A = this chain, B = another copy of it.
Amino acid sequence: MRTLHVELGERSYPIYIGAGILNTLGELSAKHGLTRKSPHLIVTDDQVAPHYLAQVEEQLKSEGYTVISHIVPSGESSKSLQVYEEVMTTAINGKLDRSSAVFALGGGVVGDLAGFVAATYMRGVTFVQIPTTILAHDSSVGGKVAVNHPLAKNMIGAFHQPVMVVYDVNTLMSLPPREVSSGLAEMVKHGLILDRDFAYWCRENGSKLLSLEPEALIYGLERGCAIKADVVSQDEREGGLRAILNLGHTIGHAIEAVGGYGRFLHGEAIAIGMAGSARLAEKLGRPADLHNETVSMLKAVNLPVTLPDDVSVDRIMDAMQHDKKFAEGQMVFIVPESIGSVSIVKDVPVEAVRSVVEQLKGEG
């Protein structure tokens, strides 16, 4: 088992990564001071529950814990205020108190939803993350939790750090190939923004990662989490530096929105977005091989790097105007300087962005 520490002062916490470590969940819970006097709540979804819920419940019960579970439908639609209220109802009926914990067993949706429940139930209780996707290596570091408002994603949320993350790579073995690639998009992104060697390592080890070879997976997740943890430690509440984590996300979020949040997976959309950011960088005078190199890294883990023909450039541009990263009306982009280094550029001309989106389509 590998242990990575996220340094956030009194809110610091460890990420445990390994194969088969779900079998130590009860022990780890005791180590982190979870009380046996109060009930705890496991939130999961109907895709994950059949595989791992019984195991997690048994593990905690065998260590003397009382647990109840709430299963939500899998998918983004569960990040709604309505499902949030239903989970709250289960927590109240289950008599959770201020010493209780909420466990998120699943991917990003479950983590965001259960995390926001933990952040706000009785004004905040203990939160434990058990990610079951590769994508969640990103969302489980940094404490950003949220649900969606019908008008916009992630508008309602909080910063609420877990007390621990238990990352058992065995839970990743049943992921469909598209989900694997989608998750690897954030891993490659962590290399692209801050670690040139890691970016090239991802490219070289693309096929091992795609086939979920444990050693490569554990190294990749640990390094990916470590890079993100490093950024978050320096800017917990997203005041400045943390924005670099949004490489590819401005265009990516617009692609997700225009696709109706079903057509493109998150990682697919941001992969296309990162290809776009590299094109934008070249337009703004950065080295001319950035796009080729970025695209080769993304292709190494089977990610798309162009927009399908039928996607409207106008709708992508419209969707970007609603992106919440335009603080105070300014258009901000994360632009690569070289592989492993980015900068935050304010006042990027809208026309340059439009031209990039047109190019992304033209190449498809």
Name A residues whose Cβ lies closer than 8 Å to a Cβ of B: 35, 37-38, 81, 85, 88-89, 92-93, 97-99, 119-124, 144, 146, 149-152, 155-159, 237-238, 324, 326-329
Contact = CB atoms under 8 A, between A and B. Distances in A.
Nearest to A144: B123
A99 B152 CA distance: 18
A89 B327 CA distance: 18
Given A88-B149, A92-B152, A152-B92, A122 B159 contact: no
Task: Tell me what chain A mostly uses at the interface: helix, strand, loop, or mixed.
Answer: mixed
A315 to B, nearest CB: 19
B85 A157 contact: no
Contacts of A38: 327-328
6 contacts: A89-B150, A92-B152, A120-B157, A123-B146, A123-B157, A123-B238
Contact of A120 (B35, B120, B122): B120
Contacts of A149: 85, 88-89, 92
Contact of A37 (B144, B150, B329): B329
Contacts of A158: 119-120, 123-124, 158
Contact of A122 (B35, B155, B329): B155
B37 A120 contact: no
Given A99-B327, A99-B328, A120-B157, 8 more contacts: A37-B329, A38-B327, A85-B149, A88-B155, A92-B151, A121-B155, A124-B158, A124-B237
A124 B145 CA distance: 11
Contacts of A121: 155-156
B327 A98 contact: yes
